[in-house]
Every structure is written in structure tokens, then in C-alpha cells.
Amino acid sequence: MTTPGAADEPMALAAERLRTAGMRVTAPRMAVLMAVSDSGGHLDADTLRERAQRIIGRLSLQATYNVLRALTDAGLVRSTQIAGHPTRYETERHDNHHHFVCRACGSIRDVECTVGAAPCIEPRLPEEYDIREAAVTFWGLCPGCRATASAS
Amino acid sequence: MTTPGAADEPMALAAERLRTAGMRVTAPRMAVLMAVSDSGGHLDADTLRERAQRIIGRLSLQATYNVLRALTDAGLVRSTQIAGHPTRYETERHDNHHHFVCRACGSIRDVECTVGAAPCIEPRLPEEYDIREAAVTFWGLCPGCRATASAS
DNA sequence: GCTTTTTCTTGAATCGGTCAAGTATATGGA
DNA sequence: TCCATATACTTGACCGATTCAAGAAAAAGC
């Protein structure tokens, strides 16, 4: 028992990640975290629920949403909302990458950033990708709210 | 009757814009188009419905959606989907601008593009805006779909 | 172990938006 | 000017994604 089976490794890793993030370690959380991790990203809540169920058997959709929210708040998971699609989840890698979405098949692909910190508009994508448009949304605080926030 | 009243002007203009776009000229369409035009942008379907109703009296929400879809398809209106908000509509100005959304109050503001054609990441916003992050989504065709599209 | 606190389950509800069927109306031709 | 026909609007049901609420279950600390 000193060397756990190979199948236990990812679960032990998931438990460790949860513990490090200061979260309670539960079967649903480990399962969802594992599902997000080895999916390659961009899965929606319902699909992640299915994958998680394969690992631990039963899991309600509501719990899946709860877990995803918790993991996102803890910075372990990144959620992305793309117009016309349900919210997708992927492992948070803090690499500030963006997304390419195919208008025809809906497939999603990561797009690396040329610059480090700031998001860049020159996408690092193979030439075969036919980019038609880019939607850029900046998030932050408007002058009014910034003043209110710094005052408190 | 040769010189229409001042109040008729925007309506006549709306009618003209619809006609130019090859669309049937109807009261709902004129009203919604006027509502979008003089709103300064970023209103959702339900709010636009209210504004349109002030102009023509009655208008179903379904019709509002139909009209907005038609106007968008015709290139008269631009729709923007921002995570966590219902779809917003604004006059299509073909200027390829982007959006700033305040995390605190949810207000939306246009962000001009420094470059002409391509979307740019260096936002033209006053310094008082505290930009925390940017979500960039590229839309187009992936290699597979591009091949299929050009083949047909 | 036992207690406390957090999390999970179940089931209802909400929100933004679409589908479908029937009625009304804009437009082009007689 | 009126008619025919295609298109648009109204009403009402429906849907998918997500959240709310209440009670049962299970982690973590003592």
C-alpha cells in the first residue's frame, strides 16, 4: 500500500490541488477537477458531469455547477463564455490565452498570446485558419466605480 | 403636407434605411430601428421593445426578436453578446469597435480601435478606466471547414 | 467519535430566447 | 384601386442553461 496504483495518481493529485487551494476535498470535486484536467479543455457543464460520473458514479448537475463555481473562484479552473455556446471550462494556466471558434463546426481552439501580460490581437494560429473577425471585450472598473471602490 | 412635421423625420429616415436595405417597411421595424438608433447603443431586446412601444403602441417581444434578427442580417444593426448579459444591439457603423464592461456596475462603453481593419488590443480609453482583463474571441473557419467550404 | 459547517441531492423556478400556428399587412401586378 | 401572394406580427407553448431553496449527507476539527 505504500505505492498507490497508477489509477490513483490523478485522483491523489486532484486531492492535493484542492487541499492546496484551501478547499474541502470531496469526491465530486476531485472527479470534476480530473474531468476538466484531462479533457484538453472547452467542455461544458453537462459533459463534465458525464465524465465525472464515469469516475465516481453519481453526480447531480447542480453539484457540477456548484463545484465548477468553487473551482473557478479558487483559480483552479477557468470559465469561458462564447456567444451561442454554453459556458466552457478548462484548467487555469494563467497564460492569458484566447480562443478561436469555427463558425461552421463550432470547434474551439486555444490561441496563444504573442505578448506576455496583455492580450494580443495578432493571433498565433496556423495560416490554414481563416479568421474573419475578432470580438474583444475589456473588463475592469469604470471611472465612477473605481472611485467608489478606492474610497471604501 | 409637402413638408412633414419634425417628428416624422426620424421615422421617414428609418423607412428609407429599410427600403435601401431591400426590406419591407413596417411599423415595428421602423420603431425598433429608431429605438436602436437614438439609444446610444447597448440596449437589450426587452428594453428596445419598450422604447419601440412608446413609438407605435403595441409590439410583441417575439416580433422584437424577429425584427432585430432581420435588421442584424441586413447589416443595419450590430448585436453583441457579453458574458453574463443578454444580447445587446447597436447601430452598425462598420467601424469595428470593441467594448469595455464595468465589473461593478455592468455599464458598457464603446472602445475605439487604433488600427483600422483589424481589432486592436490597445484600447483607446481614458486613463480613469481600470482595465483588468480582456477576452478575445476570434471567429472564422478552421482548416477542415475551410477546405469543405472552398470545395463546394 | 461527535459536532459543526460545508457540500450534495432533489425539485422547482427563472431567464433569455426560439418554435409553431394562425392572423394581419405590405407590396407588386391586373 | 383592388387583389393575390408573400412576408411579417401575435399569441402561447416550449427549450436549454443556469440558479434558488430545503433538507440529507459527508468533511474537518476537537
pLDDT at A120: 52
Tell me whether residues A135 and B131 touch, CB distance under 8 A.
no
Minimal-distance CA residue of chain B relative to A117:
B133
pLDDT at A1: 43
Q: Which residue has the higher pLDDT, A130 or B124?
A: A130
Between B83, B128, B140, which is nearest A132 by CB? B140
- Parallel, antiparallel or unpaired: strands A130-141 and B98-102: parallel
Closest residue by Cα to residue A80 from A107, A50, A116, A42: A42
Q: Residues A105-110: what's their mean pLDDT?
A: 90
pLDDT at A152: 63
Give residue-wise pLDDT tens across range B92-105: 998 878 899 999 89
Q: Provide the grid cell at A134.
A: 475578432
> Residue A64: CB partners within 8 Å, gap ≥ 6?
A28, A32, A45, A46, A48, A49, A52
Minimal-distance CA residue of chain B relative to A87:
B83
Q: Name every chain B residue with its beta carbon within 8 A of the beta carbon of A125.
A: 138
Q: Can you give the distance from the CA of residue B38 to the C1' of nucleotide D11 in angstroms?
A: 29
**In this model, does residue A116 exceed pLDDT 60?**
no
The single-letter code of the amino acid at B15 is: A
Mind listing the pLDDT tens digit of every residue in chain B (152 residues)? 444 455 568 899 999 999 999 999 999 999 999 999 988 889 999 999 999 999 999 999 999 999 999 999 999 999 999 999 999 999 999 887 889 999 989 999 998 865 444 445 567 788 899 988 888 898 999 999 999 887 76
